[in-house]
Structure 1
Amino acid sequence: MAGQLARYASPICRAVAYLVSFLVTAPFFYHVANGSNSYVGLLEDDHFYYTVIANNLVALGKLSYDGAIVTNGFHPLWLGVVVVLRLLCGGLGDSFYVALAFVALASMILTYELSLRFARLLGTSVGAASVIAVIGSLGTAQLLTTGMECTVAVPAFLWLLIEIARGGPTSFRRALKLGFIASLAVLARLDIAIAVAMMLGGFMILARPSLAEVLRVGAGFCLGGFLVPAYALFNFAIFSSVLPVSALAKSLQTAFGLNILYARNVALSTVYGPMVAVVLPIGLVAFITLLLRRSRMERSIALWTGGLAIVFAFTFFGLNALKSWIFFGWYAYPIAAAVIASLAFAWMVWGEPIVPTRARILVATLMVTGTLASGIRYFIEHGPLWSTNDNSLFAASLQLADLMRARDGRFAMGAIGGIMTYALNKPVVQLEGLVEDRRMIEHIRNQDDLGDVLREYNVDYLIVSVAHRHLDQHDGCYVINQPTAEWAGLRTSQMTGTICAEPIVSFKTESAGNSWSVFPSIETMVWELRSAKWLSHPLNGASSIR
């Protein structure tokens, strides 16, 4: 019996992983089939930055979020995918999101196959690799259905790791291929450049190439990866920085510090669950153990590549924890590869030599059936049980769009404004600078007066939504900060303004309160700026109304 189960482990695990992938994307199909737009609330708020920019590019021929200002606040490969879907579907309606769900499903299936291949290259058996790949499949499926750039970044990064782990002669042709794959991975998610730098540094240290080899390999790698420098040159020519404005906006710290909440959320609150806090440290210890057990000649390129996946995850999260911004769910993308490497190494060090065959099969059966059961539960909660109110931000967006339908003009909003911009279908200036221009970044860096900035951008209406706090108010005036510390943290530069007028719209959207609901209660206010007075905030001297 044990031998038969082991023999069929691979096809059983593949069937479960594919089924779980379908169950996670099925809520999109379920809601569309039932004439509901509740599927919109399944996507991350920041996804709509991509769709709005893609729609403006197709409709207006301009890379712009607000319809006027050119921006580069996006990861280019995913924007390209979204633009293609927008062109094929002719709009951002049901057909577009069904197509998006199919892209996500294809990415999930590809990611499973790549995870299986990666685990095999690290040294595990077919059966063990199949179980390892299926263990991470549910979390990865949820990650890839958010509508964010991780949909292409996860499989692209795994592909790069696999090509490195395969090893082989450092020929010009191999370097050319690696350069191309690395460029796709970086364009999918720009901070993968950190992992690529680690890879190149590891090559120099471990291979100790001659000067001629460095020149040959470097030429091939650079030629294959030409897309990245081309992208950087485009950014520099248009925006005077090789980095997109979204990266610049999240690097406006006013003081050094460690974001403990960020680190806690990485460890305990990703789609992979609290297992991350245990699995990744164990994987790192197992990697070090394997290094110590093996001689220099026995340390394969695959072993070092698995270590790269784990170390990159720690490095990525460590660097982001130095920033003030909160943790966003799609930032978990390095975990997809790191979990595979961690489980593979832990199995090789402690599982394979110690755990009896029958116990292995029992544990594997429990893990696989548990993953399938969790996938079924996910579909029920996000399909039949899910409603518009389960994403209070989406519900608030629909209410705002209805209240503002008759008002035309130029709007502005900071945090949690992606889905509201999509629902409004009106030009919205993004006050966090994530999808605006360098001028907005400098306003935030200099902590300029918010009222002056809004006038400069010709804004007619200001929208503010808050979740965990209330706006400071005194004598009929409201103090507004952008970016708000609620999302950008206390150490990020802010534009501040005090508006002395009552909002023309003010409402609160309650959270549905279900265990599967997202976002707390949301309070939304809108000010008409044409007649509003602002209280100035000079660095010295008395404040004044203007």
Structure 2
Amino acid sequence: MNDRYLILPPSVEGVPDSHIVFRRFLSWVGVGALLFGIVFTLHFSNIEGLYEDDFYYYLVVARNFISGNGTSYFKGVLTNGYQPLWQFLVIAAAYGAETSGWSPLRVVYVLSAAICLFSVVLVLRENRRLSDEGVLALVFCSGVVYLFLNMGMEVPALFFFSTILMLHVGRGGRSSSVIGFALFGCFLSRIDSMVYWLPMICLLLWGFKKHLMRSLLLLTTLVALYCLANKFFFGLWMPVSGLAKNAPVFSFHAQTFTSFLLSPRPPVFLMWSVLVTPVLFYLLPNKRLIIAVSFFLILVFYVLHAFRSDYGVWPWYQYNFLLHILVIGLSEGGAGVAKKSGPGMKILLVATFLISIGMVFSKAVDQFKTRKQDSEMMSVGKFVAHVALENGIDVLAMGDRAGAVGYATSASVVQLEGLVMDRGFLDRYASHLDLFDVLRKYKVGAYVATSPQPIPGEDCYLVTELVQAGDRAVRARVCMPVLASHQSPSGLLTVVFKVPVVVQAGE
């Protein structure tokens, strides 16, 4: 058996003994975990939750584009969106919705499901011919699918390109074009997936690999062209949502390191990592490479976390490096699971699967819990729409739940995180202006805050959502007149603040 390859011709497998039956069982369970995670997460997260998150921003840009206003967000301000590939998929979905009469959310669901299921079909085609190393790869793929799907609505395209990359490496492929374009597809799907570069850089540091050097050069060239196009059309090198709103905060104190290791996320992430790491170390031949890659990636993620950038704090980046290590190890010469598939290894593989599937089910339970909150947000949207109509407010501003209000009201809704894409906002942001001074420039009549905390003894509130617009521009202590407030049965408080109009000379 050639250890370079994860995929073996059917004729090489021989007689299906108990080992092959066990291997096939694991691989099909892995495919089942992929299917369950995709269908369940798409159904509950991307449909029930999209209206209250960033999808509203994407849909506004899509509708403006279809109307002939280009990729504009608010009052003709050009923007390239959060994630470019997903933005154009939403534009296609919005166009399809207009021509078919479907809701944009339903069209997006169909597109997302089709992309994810097509990716699984690619895995299914290879599943019957997987060697033991291929089964091991599928084990970890079925585990990290939870991490991929938990990243948000942009994941389907990222999952597709990740599948292409994994299958190509799994076949022993060394095509710099396939690797480079697959990584670029990951980049366009979610720009913060640039962490996919890190394993390749590690390999280049470890030893000169010509095919990886060519892939990295191709990837760098494509990304550079993308950045140049952004600079030419939009005045910015790339979307800066995550980094712009958090970069001013930087700390290396002990609490940062502790929060990096023990993030307030489900402990299953850490459990899964603790279990998988010894499996990788035991199976992959190049122990020093594993140690070097692990150390390098942990160091990079910690620095990102110290900046408190969006790129470093999320668990799918803190723990996804295990998948990178697996791909690197397999591409470096295979694992040889067939020679090391004793009872202990089988127990480890089964335990890994159980935790992987448990992660998917925990996501399912979490989605059931959040559905009630989603319906509450829609009632909040109707409440805010009534307040806006009653007070003659044409422009509203709010944080990350702008979609629920945007769908319910005819008023323009400025989503603060989307506003970060506005070059004019960034210029004022750099001038240390107060957020509400900036909002007045956009003729905002009211600010909608969800879950603000009343300050005892004062007519003020602490509003944490304002961090969506950048720490420098924010005063979290809001003392503006209250137009109305609403509290749901579960205790979700919504307050609509009146933004005072200040007429300046010359206006």
Q: Give the TM-score normalised by the residue count of structure 2.
A: 0.73
1:243 aligns with 2:238: yes
Identify the match of residue 6 of structure 1 among 5, 11, 22.
Answer: 22
Partner of 2:150: 143
1:278 aligns with 2:274: yes
1:7-44 deviation line (CA, Å, top 9, x unaligned):
64266325523541365147459xxxxxxxx9433777
Q: Report the CA distance shift for 1:473/1:462 in structure 2 as closer, same or farther (over 3 A).
A: farther
Q: Secondary structure at the match of 1:506?
A: strand
1:495 aligns with 2:460: no
Equivalences for residues 303-382 of structure 1 within 5 A: 314=298, 317-324=301-308, 332=316, 335=319, 338-339=322-323, 341=325, 356-357=342-343, 382=367
Equivalences for residues 72-221 of structure 1 within 5 A: 72-90=80-98, 95-109=103-117, 124-137=132-145, 139-140=146-147, 142-143=149-150, 146-147=152-153, 149-160=154-165, 163=168, 174-196=175-197, 199=200, 202-203=203-204, 206-207=207-208
Cα displacement (A) at 1:425: 5.1
Partner of 2:466: 484
CA contact 1:54–1:82 (8 Å) conserved in 2: yes
1:21 aligns with 2:37: yes
Q: Report the CA distance shift for 1:77/1:434 in structure 2 as closer, same or farther (over 3 A).
A: same
1:507 aligns with 2:503: no
User: Whole-Å Cα distance in 1 between the matches of residues 339 and 132 of structure 2?
Assistant: 12
Partner of 2:5: none
Partner of 1:430: 415
1:166-198 deviation line (CA, Å, top 9, x unaligned):
6667xxxx4444433332222122234454366
Q: When the two structures are aligned, how many residues end up with a matched partner?
A: 482
Equivalences for residues 21-100 of structure 1 within 5 A: 21=37, 23-25=39-41, 27-28=43-44, 39-41=47-49, 45-90=53-98, 95-100=103-108
User: Whole-Å Cα distance in 2 between the matches of residues 235 and 523 of structure 1?
Assistant: 39
1:456-501 deviation line (CA, Å, top 9, x unaligned):
222222222235x336874x4x47778735x689xx3233397765
User: Whole-Å Cα distance in 2 between the matches of residues 179 and 343 of structure 1?
Assistant: 15
User: Whole-Å Cα distance in 1 between the matches of residues 141 and 436 of structure 2?
Assistant: 52
Q: RMSD of the alignment, in Å? A: 5.0
Partner of 1:543: none
Cα displacement (A) at 1:506: 1.2
CA contact 1:119–1:340 (8 Å) conserved in 2: no
Partner of 2:449: 464
Cα displacement (A) at 1:89: 1.9
User: Whole-Å Cα distance in 2 between the matches of residues 224 and 343 of structure 1?
Assistant: 18
User: Whole-Å Cα distance in 2 between the matches of residues 529 and 183 of structure 1?
Assistant: 43
1:446 aligns with 2:431: yes
User: Whole-Å Cα distance in 1 between the matches of residues 225 and 358 of structure 2?
Assistant: 46
CA contact 2:227–2:237 (8 Å) conserved in 1: yes
User: Whole-Å Cα distance in 2 between the matches of residues 42 and 128 of structure 1?
Assistant: 34
Cα displacement (A) at 1:152: 1.9
Q: Report the CA distance shift for 1:435/1:63 in structure 2 as closer, same or farther (over 3 A).
A: farther
1:231-286 deviation line (CA, Å, top 9, x unaligned):
2112222443313231452353154446457525658438x644245246547856
User: Whole-Å Cα distance in 1 between the matches of residues 217 and 183 of structure 2?
Assistant: 10
AA aligned opposite 2:427: E
AA aligned opposite 1:421: G
Partner of 1:400: 384
Q: Report the CA distance shift for 1:366/1:181 in structure 2 as closer, same or farther (over 3 A).
A: closer
Unaligned runs of 5+ in 1: 30-37, 294-302, 512-520, 535-546
AA aligned opposite 1:199: M
AA aligned opposite 1:502: P
User: Whole-Å Cα distance in 1 between the matches of residues 127 and 298 of structure 2?
Assistant: 19
Q: Report the CA distance shift for 1:444/1:45 in structure 2 as closer, same or farther (over 3 A).
A: same
| Identity value in percent | 21
User: Whole-Å Cα distance in 2 between the matches of residues 24 and 330 of structure 1?
Assistant: 21
CA contact 1:450–1:495 (8 Å) conserved in 2: yes
1:527 aligns with 2:497: yes
User: Whole-Å Cα distance in 1 between the matches of residues 361 and 171 of structure 2?
Assistant: 36
Q: Report the CA distance shift for 1:44/1:222 in structure 2 as closer, same or farther (over 3 A).
A: farther
Q: Report the CA distance shift for 1:18/1:351 in structure 2 as closer, same or farther (over 3 A).
A: closer
Cα displacement (A) at 1:74: 0.9
Q: Give the TM-score normalised by the residue count of structure 1.
A: 0.68
1:113-142 deviation line (CA, Å, top 9, x unaligned):
7789999999843444444433444x2474
Q: Report the CA distance shift for 1:447/1:225 in structure 2 as closer, same or farther (over 3 A).
A: closer
Identify the match of residue 230 of structure 1 among 206, 225, 239.
Answer: 225
Q: Secondary structure at the match of 2:150?
A: helix
Q: Secondary structure at the match of 2:105?
A: helix
User: Whole-Å Cα distance in 1 between the matches of residues 455 and 99 of structure 2?
Assistant: 37
CA contact 1:74–1:246 (8 Å) conserved in 2: yes
Q: Report the CA distance shift for 1:379/1:153 in structure 2 as closer, same or farther (over 3 A).
A: closer
AA aligned opposite 1:55: R
Unaligned runs of 5+ in 2: 1-16
Q: Report the CA distance shift for 1:127/1:88 in structure 2 as closer, same or farther (over 3 A).
A: same
Structure number with higher helix proportion: 2
Cα displacement (A) at 1:111: 5.5
Q: Report the CA distance shift for 1:11/1:501 in structure 2 as closer, same or farther (over 3 A).
A: closer
Relative to structure 2, which stretch is displaced further, 244-253 or 38-47?
Answer: 38-47
AA aligned opposite 1:484: L
User: Whole-Å Cα distance in 2 between the matches of residues 194 and 4 of structure 1?
Assistant: 35
User: Whole-Å Cα distance in 2 between the matches of residues 311 and 185 of structure 1?
Assistant: 23
CA contact 1:21–1:109 (8 Å) conserved in 2: no
CA contact 2:30–2:139 (8 Å) conserved in 1: no
1:263 aligns with 2:260: yes
1:142-170 deviation line (CA, Å, top 9, x unaligned):
426x32x233224324534654676667x
AA aligned opposite 2:248: Q
User: Whole-Å Cα distance in 1 between the matches of residues 21 and 162 of structure 2?
Assistant: 32
